Amino acid sequence: MKISKSFKIYIHTILSLFFLINISASSALPNNLIIHENPKIIQNIKFKDFNLQDVELSKNKGNIVILNFWATWCAPCKKEMPSLDKLSAQFPNLRIFPINMEKPNKIKSKAYYQDLNLKNLDIFFDPDFSLAKKFRLRGLPTTIIIDKNGNEFARVIGEINFEDKKFVNFLRKINF
pLDDT in tens, the chain (176 residues): 566 666 556 554 554 545 444 444 444 678 899 999 999 999 899 999 999 999 999 999 899 999 999 999 999 999 999 999 999 999 999 999 999 999 999 999 999 999 999 999 999 999 999 999 999 999 999 999 999 999 999 999 999 999 999 999 999 888 75
Helix segments in 28-164, DSSP class H: 75-90, 106-115, 130-134
Rounded to whole angstroms, the Cα distance separating 131 from 166 reads 27
Domains in the chain, CATH or no CATH each: 30-173 (3.40.30.10)
Q: Is the pTM of this model over 0.85?
A: no
